[in-house]
Amino acid sequence: PRIACKDERFRKLLFDYCPILSEKFRPTIWCFESRAQTIVRLLVKSHPRITYDSEILVLPDGGQIVLDWYENRNDKFPDPQTRPTVLLLPGLTGSSSESYILHMVKEAAEHGYRSVVFNNRGNGGAKLLTPRTYCAANVEDLKLVIDTIKSHYPAAPVIAVGVSLGGMILFRYLSKMGSACRVEAGMCISVAWNVFESVVELEKPGLNRHVLNRSLAKGLVEGIKQNMHIFDNHVENMEDVLQSTTIREFDTRFTSKMFGYSSCEEYYKDACLHDKIHSLKVPVLVLSAEDDPFSPSHAIPVEEAEQHDNIAIVVTSHGGHIGFMEGWYPRHRTYMDRLYSQYIKAMFTYGSTHLKQD
């Protein structure tokens, strides 16, 4: 992989304690093409057996979200008050039952860490009680989630990890909160760096538009259909919303209006990440693939990462979107899982001492 990181302390920590970064990533040979990596993962990756304890968190506006806790009582960290905690944010319409989330919980458990999965409104068993969903640029719910975790275990260090849309929300939180954020570090995987460029990529004729784009739009529309009674008298032209066949159409007709933007373009500008790197005040590792069909390679802000501290971007040639499958039969651990596992252990074990400023 290519590593873009100006921050010498951060870079040294990564190469000292994440040996995977010195390896060559060899994608599964029979599905190395980006969309194959993206789609096949859904079909073949295993689902580790994880039993959560669910907490319903009531929001200030009357809505609710579900936090799924995996407490992981163990001998490595017997005191729950100081047990390191990994906060996980799934992707668009995702939940704690996604295969990649289950694998992350399992990896964290092997190190002795606690995991908490943040299921967005309407996902993971949470009922949609108010006419508000979630979007890439809004961090109010995430801030409340992190404050809740810290209220339960104020002495436990927290690392937050977001995948796809979850990574975008996390990155937006970290850049917006700056030194006031309440996590020790972050990791973002398969994010859309420049939303404008990502939408253009998804609208290209062929599989991108007719499979990936339509599939995502369909999932969003289905979520609205199931809660039509909530949005009555709150959204004009609901019929137009239900006819959305692309992400841009859905965001134009629903998301941007729901969150008070004057246009979809204004929303997309706020959701972009490439121009917010300078605001990061805690270390953030980002894993991107050059062939990610949701985020073109030219949109990965490698140059910006070489100009600012607290950011390291790992760029693989292959991997697709949340794919990163390797080996002949990629049913279990992936390159993404291994990097994640080494990173959280490195940060929890050495981050506070190795990254301390003089």
- Angle among Cα 358, 287, 100 to the nearest 5 degrees reads 120
Is 61 marked active-site? no
Catalytic residue among 96, 321, 337, 341: 321
The pair phi, psi for residue 131, each rounded to 5°, is -75, 60
- Angle among Cα 5, 273, 257 to the nearest 5 degrees reads 170
Catalytic residue among 164, 244, 256, 341: 164
Q: DSSP character for 19? A: G
Contacts of 97 (CB under 8 A, 6+ apart): 47, 124
Contact (Cβ atoms closer than 8 angstroms) between residue 25 and residue 82: no
The pair phi, psi for residue 316, each rounded to 5°, is -100, 155
Is 141 marked active-site? no
The strand pairing partners of 289, in sequence order, are 316
The whole-angstrom separation of Cα 155 and Cα 82 is 5
Is 234 marked active-site? no
CA–CA distances in Å: residue 51 to residues 102, 105, 115 = 10, 10, 11
The whole-angstrom separation of Cα 344 and Cα 237 is 45
Catalytic residue among 292, 295, 318, 337: 292
| Alpha-carbon torsion angle 104, 110, 112, 116, nearest 10 | 20
Which residues are the active-site residues?
164, 292, 321
